[in-house]
Structure 1
């Protein structure tokens, strides 16, 4: 069955946004005079929790504070997250977070082949809007037929809800689409919805268990910046992943029927 849609995660997949998020969190904490600072090591561990508000709440739960203080801090979560979002979107709107290599190319290759695009992300609609418009132009949002974001589902990744929502809105079965992710939580969400999944890890997710992925690459690559060892290692046609090869990898040929299998045995 032909691939009719690519469903992209956002943070880490479309762009390596996590450092901008980390800095924005710290600025929000400073603004509220909390004395918290998330280092890169801290944040890498905190990324095991999906969703910004959930991440703050999880951090609060680890603090050695009284029950009353914990309750007070939990009450600050919405304001902290809103402040963090303002800092983050300002950086993105100023062009501080580019797309990862090969992303814009693959997006336009897919559209040229008549494939639809969708987003399935745990981040907010505001963050998605800021990234797409700053990197793909004023009509960046229009390139995507469906944008499903975290607050539209009850359970965030690794639950498959966001991918099921994207598929339902597209009107497609899992075998008619594929997912692009960068993290193990995203991979679990996508495969939980029945999707073949390409994973392109970043610093923040390297070392995760991606055994369930259909393919793992360090990135998508570009003609001017081909992937090391490609073609020849995992890719056959070029040193970068093109739309046609991605679809071929995600849509293996059907199993041989009895006659084909017999013929194959006679000629091997």
Structure 2
């Protein structure tokens, strides 16, 4: 079965959004709310065990800040913090402080020229996706993605496969027609459970994760003058990810 669609995770995959984007925005939201919480890089790495910003705040309070007295309207409190964080994150994007990872823009353009269908499958909010795409690829880039599956559109977030399953249902495609892009263990568990062949590009937070189910693991997608490093799998003679390499990976994965 031929490759027809590419499904992209966002945070850590399209851009290194976590350490210098979401983490910074969370801390700004906490400060704005008069809270003395601060998520340093090490702590944030532990909090990334949980996907979803609101879920991450709750996990922090349950596991790392158990003395905090939760207000009666706790869910609304968390939603308010997360909304403030999203506003700060959008501002950081608008200031150009969160660029795309190497090879992302080039590969997306090549995929469009080759007639491949594109989709997003992420636990981050739709607002965060829109802000990232508009501030890196331009406002018209939103239309490049046939489906943007994001945030709370499904109740069970990664590592559950639901977000990928929902995206494929909207596109009316089977897993055998698709290739997913991820950066984390929760991500590969989600895509694998959805029966998707997956290409992984690691980041500083995920380099020690288990990617044994990935079709290929790289440090980044690469550019002609910035070759990738293969961490697991076989990229043949390729030094940066092209549509031809994706078709080869897909063929090997689905037979």
TM-score by length of 1: 0.89
Gaps of 5+ in 1: 256-268
| 2:60 alignment partner, SS class | helix
Structure 1 residues 83-122: aligned runs within 5 Å: 83-122=84-123
Tell me the CA shift for residue 236 of structure 1. 2.2
**Root-mean-square deviation (CA), in Å?**
1.8
The answer on whether the counterparts of 1:57 and 1:74 sit within 8 Å (CA) in structure 2 is no
CA deviation vs aligned residue, 1:104-140 (integer Å, no higher than 9, x gap): 1111111111100000000001000000001111201
Distance 2:7 2:239 in 1: 23
Distance 2:24 2:230 in 1: 34
Map of 1:246 onto structure 2: 246
Tell me the CA shift for residue 64 of structure 1. 2.9
The answer on whether the counterparts of 1:22 and 1:43 sit within 8 Å (CA) in structure 2 is yes
CA spacing shift, 1:57–1:228, aligned 2, 3 Å: closer
The answer as to 2:101 corresponding to 1:64 is no
Distance 1:254 1:112 in 2: 23
| 1:23 alignment partner, SS class | helix
Map of 1:6 onto structure 2: 6
CA spacing shift, 1:199–1:135, aligned 2, 3 Å: same
CA spacing shift, 1:174–1:103, aligned 2, 3 Å: same
Distance 1:158 1:187 in 2: 8
Tell me the CA shift for residue 97 of structure 1. 0.8
Map of 2:201 onto structure 1: 200
CA spacing shift, 1:155–1:225, aligned 2, 3 Å: same
CA deviation vs aligned residue, 1:218-266 (integer Å, no higher than 9, x gap): 1110001112479xx83223311111111111212887xxxxxxxxxxx
Query: Aligned pairs, how many?
Result: 251
| 1:199 alignment partner, SS class | strand
Tell me the CA shift for residue 72 of structure 1. 4.5
| 2:198 alignment partner, SS class | strand
Distance 2:220 2:42 in 1: 22
Map of 1:32 onto structure 2: 33
The answer on whether the counterparts of 1:237 and 1:245 sit within 8 Å (CA) in structure 2 is no
The answer on whether the counterparts of 1:190 and 1:197 sit within 8 Å (CA) in structure 2 is yes
Structure showing greater radius of gyration is 1
Distance 1:64 1:125 in 2: 30
